[in-house]
Structure 1
Amino acid sequence: MALRRVHQRSVHSGPTLTWAPATTGAVKEHHLAVAAALWAHFYPFLRSLRLSQTPPAQLADAAAGFTLLALDLPSSAPQDLQPSPVQSIMHCFGWDDMTHPLLVTRYLPHLLQNSGLVTSLSSDSASAQSLSVRAWFRCVLQQHLHKSADGADSRTGRVAEEQLCELTRLVLRLPEVDGLLQRAAVQPAAGRTAPTSALELFVKAVGLVYSGLQVLAERSAMVTRALDYMGDILKYIKPSLVSKNQDGLQLAYWAVGCIVKHWSPLLATSKAQQLLFRIVDGLLLPHNVTQQDKALRDSLPLYLQGLSVASSVSQSQGMHVKQQLRTVTRRYLDHFLPASPSVGVIANHPVLLGACETSPTPPGSLLRRTIVEVICENFLQFKGHAPPPRLASLLMFLLELLRRNGDSDPALLTLPLPALLRCVMLVNEPQVRRTSTDVLQLVVERCAAAAAAQPPCDHVITVLRSFVEQNAGVYDRQVYSALETVAVLDPLVVGALIPNLSVTLRNTEHKRGLGKNAALRSAYKKLLCLLGESGQAEISSLEAD
C-alpha cells in the first residue's frame, strides 16, 4: 500500500534539520489519520468478502497490505483487532478454515516472504507458525476443488498451482518447519518442491522427530504440535469425498494414508487415538466405497502398515486398534480378491502389497500374522466336504504372501496348515491341489529350516496330530494321503506321529468290529515306507498283530 511505503520512507530517512522532529511528529499523525480512515472505511468491506467462494485476487493483495500496515502501525488498527492486529487479520484471511484456499494461497505468500513479520510471529506466539502450516496443509489437500468437473486445466488453475508452490516454498523456510526438517535429517530437493512431495516430506519429518524423543513431556508436546499442524483433516478432505473428484479422492486418501503410516506411534497415544479411529471409520469402513476403489487400492498399504504399528504400541486401546486392523484387512482382502485366480491381479492386491517387505520387521510380521489369521478364520473354512468360495484365488494370495516375505517363525507359518491339509485331503480341482501343495511345501520346508538345530518342528507336529485326531475314522485313507505329501517334504515330523497313528488305526478297527482293515493298513504302510527305519520298524509291528 502507498501509505506503508510513505510511512517507511519517513521512518528510515531520519531527521536532517533542527526542526525535523516536529515535522516528523506531524507526518506520523497524518499517517495515523489516513490509516484510521482506511481501517474505518475500507477494511470492513474487505472483511465482508473474505468468505467468498470466488475471491478476486485483489482481495488477497489488499488484505495483505492491511496486515503489513498493522505490522508497521499497530496502534492505527481498530479496537476489535487489538491487542494483536497482525494475527487477528491473519486469522481472518489466512488461518480460518472457512476461507477459500484460492484466497489463502495468494494471501499468505505476501506475508511469509516478509522476514520482519515472520520474526514477529516467531517471537510473539508459538502457535502462529503452526497455524500457517495448518493453512498450507489444508490448501494442499483442497488444491483440486477449484478445478472444473472434467479436470481440464484453466488459467485460474495454473495461477493457483503457482501460488501454492510459492506458499509451499515459504512454509518450508519457516523457522519451526526448517528446524523439524533439520532434526529429522531430511531436506527438500534443490529447486521447486511440489506441494504434495513437500507434504509427504513434512509428515515424515514430524514422525521421525517424534520417534526420536525419549522424554514423556516432549513426546506429549510433539503430539499436540502435530495435531495442530494437521487440523481437522477429515473436514478438509470431505469436499473431495462428496464431489467424487478422482484427483481429489486420490490425494485425500494418499495424504491421510501417509499420516497414518508415518505418525502411527503418535496416533496411538491417548491424545490422538480418537482421530485414528475417526480416520478408519470415515475413510476405510463406510458402507459403500465403490467410488473410492482406485484411491483405496493405491493407498491401502499405507493404512495397513500404520495400523499394524499403532496396534503394537498403543497402551490403552491396543486391542481396539488390532480389531480395526483385522476388520479393514478382512474387508479389503475380500473386496479386491478376484473370483477366479489371476496372477496379475493378486500380485498387485493392495493387502498383499501392504504386507511385503524386503526383510522382516516386528510390525510387518504382525501385519502378516493378522492377514493369515483373517484368511484362516474367514475365508478357508470348509462346510463339510464343500470348499470355501474363491479357494484357488485365496491359496494363490497366501502363496504370494509367504513367498515374497522371509518369515521363519513356525507359529506364523503353521497358522494355515490345518486348512492346507484339508485342501489336499478333500479337493480334487487341479489348480487348488497344485497351489495348496505349493503353500504346504513352503510352510513345511521353512519350519524344518527353523528347527534345524533341534528337529523335528514341534509346531508342525502339533498341527499334524490334531489333524489326525479330527479326521481319522472319518476320511480314513485320505488322511494318510495328505500325510504322504508332508512326509516327502519332512519325514521327521510325520515320523513323530507313528505312535499316535498306529493307536488310531487299531482303535478305528476295534470300533468297527470287523478285525483288520486290509485297505486301511495298506494305505498306512504306504505312508510308513516314506519314513525310513522308524517306518519299517512299525510295518513289522503291524504285520505281527
Structure 2
Amino acid sequence: MEGSAAGHRRVHQRGVQAGPSVASVGRERHLAVAAALWTHFFPFLRSLRLSQTPPAPLADAAAGFTLLAFDLPSSAPQDLQPNPVQSIMHCFGWDDMLNPLLVTRYLPHLLQDGELVAAVSSCSGASASGPAQALCVRAWFRCFLQQHLHKNPDRSDSRAGRALEEQLGELTRLVLRLPEVDSLLQRSGLQPAASRPEPRPALQLFIKAVGRVYGGLQVLSERAAMVTKALDYLGDFLKHVKPYLVNKNPEGLQLAYWVGGCVVMHWSPLLASSRAQQQLFRLVEVLLLPHSLTHLEQALRDSLPLYLQGLSVAAGMSQSQGAGLKQQLRSVISKYLDHFLPATPSAGVIANHPVLLAACEATPTPHGAGLRKSILQVLCDNFLQFKGHAPPPRLAAILAFLLELLRRNKDADPALLTVPLPSVLRCLMLVNEPQVRRIATEALQLLVERCGAATDGPCDQTTTVLKSFVEENEGVYDKQVYSVLETVAVLDLPVVQVLVPVLSLSLRNTEHKRGLGRNSALRSAYKKLLSILGDVGQAEAISLEEE
C-alpha cells in the first residue's frame, strides 16, 4: 500500500524533471497507473481510517496518496474533487473521529513539505470546517489531549502509547513551524526554548501566545477574527476529553483539567467575548460543577487556581453575560472552598487549599484583588452566617482560611478589606470559644490596621461598618458590642472615637425602648469603653453623668 502511491509519485516527478517531451509522453501512462491505484487501493485505505488499531503502514500509505493527489490532482476520483489533497487530509488527519495514532503518524509526512503546506493553506476551499493550518493545530491539540487513551488497563505504557508519544513529539515540532503558528509566536514575543520542544510546554506556550496576541489587538474586527481562530484551534474540547470523564483515567483527567485550566487562564478576555462565552460556560459547568467529585480531587486540586483566576478576569470583563459568569465564579468558589476545607483548623491543609492558592500574589493586581473580593463575599454569604446564636459549622477553619488569605496578600484597599469586617465583628460578639476568638482577633487586627494605614484620618469605610454594627445590635447585644469596640479601639483609636455620638444615641434609644430609665449596668459597660477613648471619651462620660 505504502510503496504504490509514493513510488508512482517519485516516477512522475522524475518524468517532470526530465523535460517537457518526456513528461508529455509519460503523462498518460502515469495517469493510467494513478487511476488504477485510486480505484483498487484507495477505497481499501479509506475503509480502515476509523480503525481503533490502525497499522503504521496505513498512515504512510494515506500520506503517499495525499502527495500523489498534490502532484496529479486530476487523477484523484470525483468524490475527492475539487480539492483532493484537502479531502484526503480530512479523511486521515482532521476528522475528530480518527485515532491519534493514525493522525500523529500521517500529518508529519505532509507538514514537512513546505510546498504542500503553502498550497493547501492558500486554497480558499480548504475545508467546510476551517482553514487547513488551523485544522492541523486542532488535530495536534486533540491528539495531545487524548494521548493517555492508549495506556494499558493497568495504566502502564503500551506499545501503542510509546509510539504515540514519539509521533506526537515530531508532530509538535512541525506544528510550531507552520507559518500561522510561527507568526503567532513571533507576534506574542514567545518562542520555544528548544529546537525540539516537548509537547506539554509547547502546547502551553501556544495557548499563552494566542491569549497574548488577542490581548494586543485593538480593532474590533481583528479581535472577532482572532476569537473565531482560537475556537477553531480548540475544537470541541469537552468531546475530546469525555473518554477520561467516563473511564476516570487519572493521568488523562489531570492532563485534561490542566489544559482546560491553561485555556481559561490565558484566554479569559477572549472567552469573555460574546462569541466565545458559551464555550466558557460549558467548560465550567462540565469540568468544575459536576455532581460527583469522585476521582477528580487531584486533578482539581492542581488546576483549580488556573480556572478561578481566568474565570475571575472573564467575569470582570464581560459586558453581556457578566452576571452569569460572576454567579458561576461564586458557585465554583463556594463548592471547592467547602470541599477542600478541613473540619478543624489545619495549617498544612489550609495553606495548600486550592482556592487560597488561586488568590495569592506577591504584589496585588486589580485582577487578583477582584478574585479575592469574590472569595471574601462567598465566605461572608455562605460560610460565616449565624443562625440566631448558633455559629456556622467549621467556624474556626473558615476564620483560619480568612486569616491566611489576609496574611499572604498585601491588600490595602478599604473597599476590599471591609467586606469580611462585619462577619469578624459578629464572631467576636457572639462566640466565646478561645480558638475562634484568637483567630478572629488576629483577622480583625489585620483588617483594621490596614484600613487605617490607607487613609490620613479615620477610615470612612471602617467607620461605616462599625456604625452599622452598633445600630444592628443595639438593645440586644449592647455590652458585647462595647467589648468588641474596646478591641477595635486598641488597634485604631480614632475610628472608634468618631462613633461616640452614635454610641451615646444608641444607649439612650435602648433605655427609652425598655422604659425603665437609666440602665446602670449598661452605662457602666459603656463608660469602660469611653475610658480608653482619650479626651473624647472623657468628655462624653462627664456628659452622661450630668444627665
Partner of 2:99: 100
Q: Residue 543 of structure 2: which of 525, 530, 541 is its match?
A: 541
Residues matched between the structures, number: 537
Partner of 2:524: 522
Q: CA separation in 2, counterparts of 1:503 and 1:81?
A: 88
Q: CA separation in 2, counterparts of 1:541 and 1:185?
A: 70
Partner of 1:222: 226
Letter in 2 for 1:226: A
Letter in 1 for 2:514: R
Q: Residue 502 of structure 1: which of 492, 501, 504 is its match?
A: 504
Letter in 2 for 1:119: A
Partner of 1:3: 8
Partner of 1:487: 489
Q: CA separation in 1, counterparts of 2:67 and 2:9?
A: 8
Letter in 1 for 2:91: C
Partner of 2:403: 399
Residue-by-residue CA offset, 1:387-435 (whole Å, 9 max, x unaligned): 1001011101111112211211112111111111111111111111111
CA-based RMSD of the aligned residues comes to 1.3
Structure 2 residue matching 1:415: 3-state secondary structure: coil
Residue 512 of structure 1: how far off its partner (Å): 3.3
Residues 145, 241 of structure 2: 8 Å contact kept: yes
Residues 460, 493 of structure 1: 8 Å contact kept: yes
Worse-superposed segment, 125-134 or 204-213: 125-134
Residues 150, 158 of structure 2: 8 Å contact kept: no
Partner of 2:19: 14
Partner of 1:177: 181
Q: CA separation in 2, counterparts of 1:426 and 1:83?
A: 78
Residues 71, 117 of structure 1: 8 Å contact kept: yes
Residue 69 of structure 1: how far off its partner (Å): 0.8
Partner of 1:18: none
Structure 1 residue matching 2:494: 3-state secondary structure: helix
Partner of 1:434: 438
Q: CA separation in 1, counterparts of 2:294 and 2:530?
A: 54
Q: CA separation in 2, counterparts of 1:288 and 1:107?
A: 38
Residue 155 of structure 1: how far off its partner (Å): 2.7
Structure 1 position 348 matched with structure 2 position 352? yes
* Matched ranges for 1:247-262 at <5 A: 247-262=251-266
Residue-by-residue CA offset, 1:284-305 (whole Å, 9 max, x unaligned): 1121122211111111111111
Structure 2 residue matching 1:464: 3-state secondary structure: helix
Partner of 1:388: 392
Residue 154 of structure 1: how far off its partner (Å): 2.8
Structure 1 position 83 matched with structure 2 position 71? no
* Matched ranges for 1:428-467 at <5 A: 428-452=432-456, 455-467=457-469
Structure 2 residue matching 1:182: 3-state secondary structure: helix
Q: CA separation in 1, counterparts of 2:507 and 2:426?
A: 19
Q: CA separation in 2, counterparts of 1:174 and 1:535?
A: 76
TM-score, normalised by the number of residues in structure 2: 0.96
Letter in 1 for 2:447: V
* Matched ranges for 1:231-246 at <5 A: 231-246=235-250
Residues 463, 496 of structure 2: 8 Å contact kept: yes
Residue 472 of structure 1: how far off its partner (Å): 2.4
Residues 146, 241 of structure 2: 8 Å contact kept: yes
Residue 148 of structure 1: how far off its partner (Å): 1.2
Q: CA separation in 1, counterparts of 2:506 and 2:323?
A: 41
Residues 307, 325 of structure 1: 8 Å contact kept: yes
Residue-by-residue CA offset, 1:229-283 (whole Å, 9 max, x unaligned): 1111111111111111011000111101111111111111111111111111111
TM-score, normalised by the number of residues in structure 1: 0.96
Q: CA separation in 1, counterparts of 2:8 and 2:447?
A: 79
The gaps in structure 1 that reach 5 residues or longer are 16-20
* Matched ranges for 1:155-174 at <5 A: 155-174=159-178
Letter in 2 for 1:419: S
Letter in 2 for 1:82: Q
The gaps in structure 2 that reach 5 residues or longer are 1-5
Partner of 1:73: 72
Q: CA separation in 1, counterparts of 2:512 and 2:66?
A: 96
* Matched ranges for 1:30-429 at <5 A: 30-125=29-124, 127-429=131-433
Letter in 1 for 2:39: A
Letter in 2 for 1:139: C
Residue 437 of structure 1: how far off its partner (Å): 0.3
